[in-house]
Each structure stands twice: as C-alpha cells, then as structure tokens.
Amino acid sequence: MQTRDVPDMQARDVMVCGVISVGPDIPVRIAANAMVVNCVSALPVIDIYARLVGIVSEGDLIRRVEIGTERSHSGGETPVSSDSLAKDFVKSHAKRVSDVMTREVITAQPETPLREIANLMEKHSIKRVPIIRDKLVVGIVSRANLLQVLARARDNTDWVESDRVLHQRFVDSIKNQPWAGRPFNIIVNDRCADLWGFVYSADEKTAVRVAAEATPGIESVSDHLGIAPQTSDNIPWAHFENWSR
C-alpha cells in the first residue's frame, strides 16, 4: 500500500497575525505597559517603514533600577569587564526601547515548517519567532502556539491540506473587521477549529467565534479566547496590525 504524502504544518497555519509592535524610540515603560495590557511577553520593534529592527521581551526588562532589580556587582564576585558593566547599566537605566531591545532577531517565513521553527527555538533558546514576508512582520509563532497544535493533535488523524485552506478562508472572512488585528490565532485540524489568544471584549470574543462557525468547511469550533484587560490609558504608541490583509 502506498503511503500518502502529508504536508508539514507551516508557520502560517498557527501564527498570530494580529502583531502588536512598537517603535525603537518608544519609552521602555510604555513597552512594558503594552505587554501587560495585551497579554504578550514580547513586542517586535519596527521602524517607520514597518521593517523589523529588533524585539523587546520580558527578559530585556527584568533588571530595572525602577523596581530595584538591577544587577549588583559586589567586590567579592568574579571580576567583570568594563564593557559588561556598561551593558548592564544600559539595560537597567535606558529610557528608550532601542537601548534594551535585542537587535539580532531570529526570524522565519510563513512557509517555514513548524519542525524548523521548533529547531530555531531550541538552538537559540528563544520563546518566539517573528514571521517575515518582504521585510515586513506578518505574524509571530511562540512556544505556546506549538503547544496549542500538540494539544489539538489526534494520533489517528493526519493533518491535511484542506485545513490550510479553511484557515485562510477564516482569515480572509474577517480581514476588514476592526477586531481582526487582535492577538489571537486559529488552528484548524481535521476541519475542527481552536481559537487561542486574546480579544478586547466579550462582544469581540463572540464575533470571532461566530466568524469561525460561519466559515464554510469548519465543522466545530472550540473557543479558548481570553479577554485582555483594557484601561482608559491605552497605548497610542503601540502598533496593532493584522498583517495578513
């Protein structure tokens, strides 16, 4: 009996398209606030042409003088070079994102197989991989997205090409909606859809579920969406884009 070739799942099948990003000159405090408000652990940093120039994560912000967590170098420790001391000082005192962000960002393309995404995460000890097309950030894949696929996987069911078609059909159906750019994603497996991530209200949560249920070919929908806490002090410096348009 001939074995049927089954296509690998790719970054585009699981990535979050509602990418929340900031500019390099944004204050560090604003970037931290954007992470908290939008329930994300990192933000791509883009220039005025929307090109990726870095990424700022929770790890870049844990050693801060404002909260008393800056690194301490006592006399009894192993000698530290002047350059290392200078870098630590910048990390803990800098006011702009450009001074604390990681500049050498590991990225992938929408067609990159999830196997390669996992390899990149493991090799470089990173938790997320921005997805790039034509120098623009079109999505992001995190460890959580890979776990979501694992949680939905069925031992006796192969992932099929039609699931990718259904995924794109859903994305296309909501692309003109104002809530399409929220940080959520849909994973379609064997014509069953799982919604993961966050929206900003109960009405938006319902709208996303209804859109998935109304997508031709999707037979069932499991809604795992959360509602991100919103404040009156929204973040005008953060960019909320649905790059799948």
At residue 240, the pLDDT reads: 47
What is the DSSP pairing of strand 136-142 with strand 128-133? antiparallel
* Residue range 46-97, pLDDT digits in tens: 999 889 999 999 999 998 888 888 887 665 566 778 888 888 898 899 999 9
What is this structure's pTM? 0.69
Q: Is the pLDDT of residue 104 over 70?
A: yes
CATH code at 13-72+81-242: 3.10.580.10
Identify which of 133, 231, 150, 144 has the alpha carbon closest to the alpha carbon of residue 183. 144
Residue 238 backbone phi and psi in degrees, to 5: -90, 150
Facing residues of 220 across strands?
192
Residue 103, C-beta contacts closer than 8 angstroms, at least 6 positions apart: 53, 54
**Contact status, residue 184 vs residue 197, Cβ threshold 8 Å:** yes
Sign (positive/negative) of CA torsion 176, 182, 187, 193? Answer: negative
At residue 71, the pLDDT reads: 81
Domain ranges of the chain: 13-72+81-242
Q: Is the pLDDT of residue 98 over 50?
A: yes
